[in-house]
Amino acid sequence: MKILTLIALTLMIGFAHADSSSMSDEEITQVIIYKSIATHRGDCACPYSRATNGSQCGRRSAYSRPGGYKPLCYPRDVSIEMIEEFRR
């Protein structure tokens, strides 16, 4: 299931890059978040992610732990500069 999700996200990101000029800031923000989560190795990138046993990751997530990998999980994590860079 995770493989299918990653394939779908990869396709979505690829299409998004093809014509990012017609995308809204919100759509670009979602693509940036999905891309960030997809690069995380493991199941618990974000607090709302699900662990392999189906439980919500919460404080076990990479986002919630100090140091190390900091995925972008929420729209507030994506800056205007990131959106502008994506458009370029």
Identify the pLDDT of residue 46: 97
User: What pLDDT, on a 0 to 100 scale, did the predictor assign at position 80?
Assistant: 97
What is residue 3's predicted lDDT score, i.e. its pLDDT?
47
pTM score, two decimals? Answer: 0.74
Distance (Å, rounded) from C-alpha 88 to C-alpha 71? 22
- In sequence order, the β-bridge partners of residue 46 are none
Please say whether the beta carbons of 72 and 23 come within 8 A: no
Of 23, 44, 39, the C-alpha closest to 87 is 23
Averaged over successive runs of 10 residues, the pLDDT of the chain (88 residues) comes to: 49 56 94 96 94 95 91 97 95
Separation between Cα atoms, residue 3 and residue 22, nearest integer Å:
28
Tokens of 58: 């919460």
| Domain spans in the chain, listed from the N-terminal domain onward | 2-87
Would you state the pLDDT for residue 12?
A: 57
Give the single-character DSSP code of 62: T
Output the pLDDT for position 67: 86
